[in-house]
Amino acid sequence: MAIGVKVVKRPEEQISYLRATLKGMAITFRHLIAPKWTMQYPEEKSADDWTISDRWRGTHRMLTDEQGRAKCVACGLCPQICPANCIKLVPGEDEQGHRYPLIYEIDEFRCVFCGYCQEVCPEEAIHVGVHYENAEFDRGRFVYDLERLCAQTHPVSSLWDPADPKGE
Amino acid sequence: MTPELKGFILVGSIKAGIVFGLLFLAIAFVTWLERRVAAWIQNRIGPNRTGPQGLFQPIADGLKNFVKEELIPGEANKVLFILAPAMAFVPSMLLFAVIPFAAPLPLNFDFTLPLLGRFVHTGAVPMIIADLPIGFLFILAMSSLAVYGIVFAGWASGNKYSLLGGLRSCAQMVSYEIALGLSLIPVLLVAGNVRLTEIVSVQQNSLWFILPLTVAFVFFVISALAENNRLPFDLPEAEGELVGGYHTEYSSMRFAIFFLAEYGALITMSALMATFFFGGWDIPGNWDEGEPSVLVSLATLIVFVFKTFFFVFCYIWIRWTLPRFRFDQLMSLGWKVLLPVGLLYVMVLAAAMLAFDTMGMEWGVWYALALFAVNVVLLGALFWGLDRNRLIWGQKLQREGRA
């Protein structure tokens, strides 16, 4: 026996192989016939005791006004705060002096989904979405332009509320 | 060639083809069953996408293995590396040749084919590929041969973990070969024959050997687990410590052949448990013992498959319950427990049989029940000893601080 190994004296029912083996077999058999926890994903997207949180930060969505134009006023706060530097914004201005984005692109590959863009946006225009099914066949398709951001319909994230930190 | 010989060859080859075809199908089914039962035990569902309930999953896996690249490591001994999977595979398949799987099937035909001539067959076809008069010895011999495939695979891979796996498997299979043989000697004592069809018919005429030979069955199950490298004795593979052991370096179809060999051996061992201890294809009652008929053959075949898959299920159940033994525990169980206790059991049983014979008892149900009583006593003593750690000596010494 190796040096310094302390052998604990245990009562015999605790070191019995046979009883432990039979107990183990009984436990696994109970689990064999017990109801299963698996959620069959493409068919089931939420279960009785689990659904996706409304704080989920997924791919972006740009909200629009009544005329279907993006609410964005091209203030430049979101590219400024973006820690991943994934938002490309080129501002433009029309005859009445309304600012609007000429180019608004988000590279979802670079995005870290921190949600700062939504928090900083004064017009409540750009949002992160409660959405996770964003597979594409082409890398280029992961740069979402303004048209695509406006066309998204999924719900937007409620983000973390400091007044209600646990989401109650 | 006489028409009768031609008929015999025709029937024999068709039988062999069907049996091995079905065996492959059963292997595919068992790989699926293993994954599903594992999932159920872990409260998951398991593969259920490919085909109904995921039943075509093994086919998809097989296709994947066919199209994958075959790698041969630079350090490998090429000849042995390529030979090893076949050496592991063939013995595990051959074992099934001597197992009777149904009641004899009546088959009469007399027809003439162009070029080949006349084929004649009359009477019942025994539902066994080769009714060898040395069936039992053939099983011991072939199951020992399987170790060569594994040892060569481990050595030829040129990888130290594979080599360790091969070495472990060599030591383990050689040790438990003895225990396996010893656990079957009581069967021979009672049946008085090494031919498997005879062993089945003795059980048909009295009781299934699980009753008169309970202790032998326990030993057989333990050593069969070790022979098949299944948990809790899967040290040759030990994916946690040896990254798969002897088949680490194998890829694509060569790996798949090891896989087939392993599951083939699993099914064969389960079929042997059914044959030696649960009456083979026997259905309790007398109605399957009359004239051979297609109905009886079919019913007994179904019963045999059911018994076999029951033991396959037990194997899987045990695998997903028990943790792996340490190597010294494995060796001390084999040499210090199963070997002496097995020998002792053979002697006690032989003495009991001698006593019954001297008392003038004839072999039959009452004789078997008397043996069952002896076995209950022995089983109680064995489990009492095991339970109190009196048989695992190393453990006992450790507890007393003497080791």
The DSSP secondary-structure symbol of A28 reads H
Which residue from B44, B392, B403 is facing A38, i.e. has the nearest CB?
Answer: B44
Our CA dihedral for B323, B154, B62, B232, rounded to 10 degrees, sits at -10
Instruction: Render pLDDT for A13-51 as a digit per residue (tens, 0 to 9).
Output: 667 777 778 888 888 999 988 888 888 888 888 877 788
CB pair distance less than 8 Å for B45 and A36: yes
The answer to whether A15 contacts B317, with C-beta atoms less than 8 Å apart, is no
- B102-146, pLDDT tens digit by residue? 877 777 777 777 777 777 777 777 888 888 888 888 888 888 888
> Which of B36, B42, B392 is best to mutate for the A interface (most A CBs within 10 A)?
B42
Q: How far is CA A15 from the centre of its chain?
A: 47
- pLDDT tens digits, A82-114: 999 999 999 888 888 888 899 999 998 999 998
From the list A1, A12, A27, the residue facing B398 with the nearest CB is A1
User: What pLDDT was estimated at residue A81?
Assistant: 92
The answer to whether A6 contacts chain B (CB < 8 Å) is: no
Q: Do A25 and B320 touch (CB under 8 A)?
A: no
Local confidence band at B388 (pLDDT 50, 70, 90 cut-offs)? low
And the tokens for B321? 């319950």
- Shortest CB distance from B386 goes to which of A18, A25, A27? A18
Q: Contacts of residue A17 in chain B, CB cutoff 8 Å?
A: 386-387, 389, 392
State whether B317 and A38 contact (CB < 8 Å).
no
Q: Domain count of chain B?
A: 1
Are A157 and A129 in contact by the 8 Å Cβ rule? The answer is: yes
User: Residue B43 is nearest to which of A16, A18, A37, comparing CB atoms?
Assistant: A37
Assign B312 a pLDDT band (cuts: 50, 70, 90): very high
> In terms of residue numbers, what domain contains B289?
3-399
- Structure confidence at residue B310 as a pLDDT band (50, 70, 90): very high
ipTM of this predicted complex? Answer: 0.75
Contacts of A40 in chain B (CB under 8 A): 45
Of B41, B45, B322, the CB nearest to A38: B45
For residue B64, give the amino acid letter: K
Least CB–CB distance from B317: residue in A12, A29, A36: A29
Strand partners, A47: A50
- Nearest residue to B390 (alpha-carbon basis) of A17, A26, A159: A17
Alpha carbons within 13 angstroms on the beta-carbon side of residue B172 total 31
pTM: 0.81
- The domain limits of chain A are 60-151
Rounded distance, CA B19 to CA B313, Å?
A: 21
CATH topology of domain A60-151: Alpha-Beta Plaits (3.30.70)
Contact by Cβ (8 Å): B142, B91: yes
Summarised one tens digit per residue, pLDDT across range A109-166 is 999 998 898 989 888 888 898 888 888 899 888 999 888 888 888 888 888 777 777 7
**Contact with chain A for residue B397, Cβ under 8 A:** no
Find chain B residues with C-beta within 8 A of A32's C-beta: 37, 40-41, 317
pLDDT tens track for B133-187: 888 888 888 888 888 888 888 888 888 888 888 888 888 888 888 888 888 888 8
Interface mutation vs chain A, best among B321, B328, B390, most A CBs within 10 Å: B321
Q: Show residues of chain B in contact with A27, CB under 8 Å.
A: 321
pLDDT band for position B393 (50/70/90)? Answer: very low
Rounded to the nearest 10 degrees, the angle between the axes of helix B160-191 and helix B339-358 is 10
Question: pLDDT class for B394, splitting at 50, 70, 90?
Answer: very low
The residues near B135 (Cβ < 8 Å, ≥ 6 apart) are B98, B194, B195, B196, B197
User: Residue B201 contacts by C-beta under 8 Å, 6 or more apart in sequence?
Assistant: none
Residue range B236-256, pLDDT digits in tens = 776 667 667 778 888 888 888
HEC letters along chain B: CCHHHHHHHHHHHHHHHHHHHHHHHHHHHHHHHHHHHHHHHCCCCCCCCCCHHHCCHHHHHHHHHHHCCCCCCCCCCHHHHHHHHHHHHHHHHHHHHHCCCEEEEECCEEEEECCCEEEEECCEEEECCCCCCCHHHHHHHHHHHHHHHHHHHHHHCCCHHHHHHHHHHHHHHHHHHHHHHHHHHHHHHHHCCCCHHHHHHHHHHCCCCCCCCHHHHHHHHHHHHHHCCCCCCCCCCCHHHHCCHHHCCCCHHHHHHHHHHHHHHHHHHHHHHHHHHCCCCCCCCCHHHCCCCHHHHHHHHHHHHHHHHHHHHHHHHHHCCCCCCCHHHHHHHHHHHHHHHHHHHHHHHHHHHHHHHHCCCCCCHHHHHHHHHHHHHHHHHHHHHHHCCCCCHHHHHHHCCCC
Asked if A27 has any chain B CB less than 8 Å from its own CB, the reply is yes
Residues of B in contact with A47 (CB under 8 A): none
Residues B42-67 pLDDT 10s: 988 888 888 888 888 888 888 888 88
CA-nearest residue of chain A to B403?
A1
